[in-house]
Amino acid sequence: MSERLRDVVGQLAIQPTSRVLEIGCGQGVAATMVCQLLTTGTYTAIDRSVKMIEAATRRNAPYVSSGRAEFLIASLEDANLGDRRFDVVFAVRVGLFHRDPTRAHSLLAPWLAPGAHVQSFFDVPV
């Protein structure tokens, strides 16, 4: 597993009951780490790539089948998460959060629970 993603997840202060949203989940590596921390909490991920959502869903099949995780094909701009609310939202290497963080945060606003925190991580790939 990626040490970089382990560090990211470690900074999220996820509680066993957290409702977590990841923007741009890629192959679902961080998803696995997050789901391991949850008991009654849930994890939702969106990614624009069908291939990445398929890979993440396969990697995290036990969490999907238990109802703890879901993976949705969508961009942040087009996502429809209904009345869901999240305690923790994070994104790793998602350009919108780097280029226009104000816009990214405004797109998330409808889904943030009271006291929610949003964290984005953007580093240069090695």
What DSSP state is assigned to residue 98?
Answer: H
Instruction: Tell the CATH topology of 3-121.
Output: Rossmann fold (3.40.50)
Only one residue has tokens 């087009």, namely 78
Per-residue pLDDT of the chain (126 residues; tens, 9 = 90+): 588 899 999 999 999 999 999 999 999 999 999 999 999 999 999 999 999 999 999 999 999 999 999 999 999 999 999 999 999 999 999 989 989 999 999 999 999 999 999 999 987 666
Q: How far apart are CA 97 and CA 72, in angstroms?
A: 19
Only one residue has tokens 């945060």, namely 105
